[in-house]
Amino acid sequence: MKIYHIIIIIIFSTFFINCESKNKKINEVNLYSQRHYNVDKKQYENFEKITGIKVNVVKANADELIERLKNEGADSPADLFITVDAGKLHKASQNGLLQKINSNKINIDNQLKDPNGFWVPITYRARIIVYSNERVKKADLSTYSDLANEKWKGKILVRSSSNSYNQALMASIIANDGIESASKWSKGIVENFARNPKGNDRDQVKAIASGQGDIAIVNSYYIGLLLSSKNDDEISAGKAVSVFFPNQGEDKRGSHINVSGIGLTKNSPNKKNAIKLIEYLTSVDAQKIYVNNSYEYPVNTLVEPNEIVKEWGTFKKDSLDLNLLGKFRNEAILIFDKTGWK
Ligand code: FE
């Protein structure tokens, strides 16, 4: 064999090796997720089983993930950004980090959709009032704004204002009632605190059970999680309270809700897989897995909430464009600071 034969063989074999390694590109999808619930692992394993697409997850808080997406720019490996707050999805889209999602396989309650098409909700939750079965009469409860009434002095339990759930609630109050009214409300709530804000939503319910306060503002699914817990203390905390949906009635705007949602990144390298995962997470099967494990509300109209959640009854949801939760975020934080809600 002459030398040029050998050279030709080398050129051809590197060409074929290259082709092969390109085809062997891993079939995967990369998530940047703010969610912190056990049910998610179950969903991704199930999706992998059905499609053969490997799901890689990076978990952090929403602002950290947004910074990371900004810094990585066009080189970002991320396909999807998942949050527990429409406000943060709005922030990501405002920063040019998302692209519109096109699929005809996504069946979602119209009220929960992003009017701009940049994100898809996967679950929703209400920020509700829970009250002591022993010390509060249901008839005395009505609206969020009533919680600022001095009749509740020393009785209100709620976590710190650094938490995104409270920031979104305050943003909804600003969007509905204006800044001045929201500031007054915040001041009234602070004056009614049973204690300085500490702990998470579950801890507020436990504090009612141990008599430290009578009323708490929490996300709905935590009551489902407490009642279905393996821990006796958690079950008895859940049983010590009842659920109340504020702002119901014809003249009322409905209870504040927020979505856990998903956005497709601007430079998604595995776009087809990403859309498949969005379609899976909003499908009837996956929605059933959410409602029965995390006790969130389903976004797919063909699925009903878990039995525990259904017992609380149906409620009217605040119909605010959820993007406004992001728009008024900074104002919400300013109000918390000014009124001493730590
Ligand atoms: Fe949560």
Give the residue among 230, 209, 203, 239 at the shortest CA–CA distance from 311: 239
> What is the helix, strand, coil percentage profile of the chain, to 5?
50, 15, 35
Q: pLDDT for 278-332, tens place per residue?
A: 999 999 999 999 999 999 999 999 999 999 999 999 999 999 999 999 999 999 9
Question: Which SS3 state, helix, strand or coil, does residue 260 take?
Answer: strand
CA of 260 to the centre of ligand 1 (A): 10
Report DSSP letters for 79-124, one per residue: -EEEES-HHHHHHHHHTT-EE----S-----GGGS-TTSSEEEEEE
pLDDT confidence of residue 2: 65
CA count, 13 A, side-chain hemisphere, 290: 28
pLDDT confidence of residue 36: 87
Mean pLDDT of 94-110: 95
CA of 301 to the centre of ligand 1 (A): 22
Q: Is the pLDDT of residue 23 over 70?
A: no
Contact 171/87 with Cβ under 8 angstroms?
Answer: yes
pLDDT confidence of residue 3: 65
CA of 36 to the centre of ligand 1 (A): 7
CA of 220 to the centre of ligand 1 (A): 9
* Residues contacting 252, CB < 8 A, separation 6+: 143, 316
pLDDT confidence of residue 196: 97
Residue 263: phi, psi to the nearest 5? -120, 145
Going from the C-alpha of 308 to that of each of 35, 227, 242, 300, the distances in angstroms are 22, 8, 12, 18
Residue 249 pLDDT level (bands cut at 50, 70, 90): confident
Angle at 119 between CA 114 and CA 121, to 5 degrees: 80
CA of 122 to the centre of ligand 1 (A): 14
Q: pLDDT for 163-202, tens place per residue?
A: 999 999 999 999 999 999 999 999 999 999 999 999 999 9
pLDDT confidence of residue 340: 98
Q: Is the pLDDT of residue 129 over 70?
A: yes
CA of 37 to the centre of ligand 1 (A): 7
Q: Is the pLDDT of residue 341 over 80?
A: yes
CA of 14 to the centre of ligand 1 (A): 51
CA of 162 to the centre of ligand 1 (A): 14
More confident residue, 159 or 250: 159
- Burial class from Cβ neighbours inside 10 Å (0-12, 13-18, 19+) for residue 71 reads exposed
CA of 97 to the centre of ligand 1 (A): 24
pLDDT confidence of residue 10: 57
CA of 266 to the centre of ligand 1 (A): 27
CA of 178 to the centre of ligand 1 (A): 27
For residues 76-94, b (16+ Cβ closer than 10 Å) or e, as one string?
bebbbbbbbbbbbbbbbbe
Percent of the chain with pLDDT over 70: 93
Q: Name the pTM for this structure.
A: 0.91
CA of 124 to the centre of ligand 1 (A): 11
CA of 285 to the centre of ligand 1 (A): 22
CA of 222 to the centre of ligand 1 (A): 7
CA of 117 to the centre of ligand 1 (A): 24
Relative to beta strand 28-33, strand 54-59 is parallel
CA of 296 to the centre of ligand 1 (A): 10
Helix/strand number for the chain, H first, E second? 14, 10
Q: Is the pLDDT of residue 43 over 70?
A: yes
Report DSSP letters for 154-179, one per residue: TTEE---TTSHHHHHHHHHHHHHH-H
Q: pLDDT for 5-21, tens place per residue?
A: 765 555 555 555 554 44
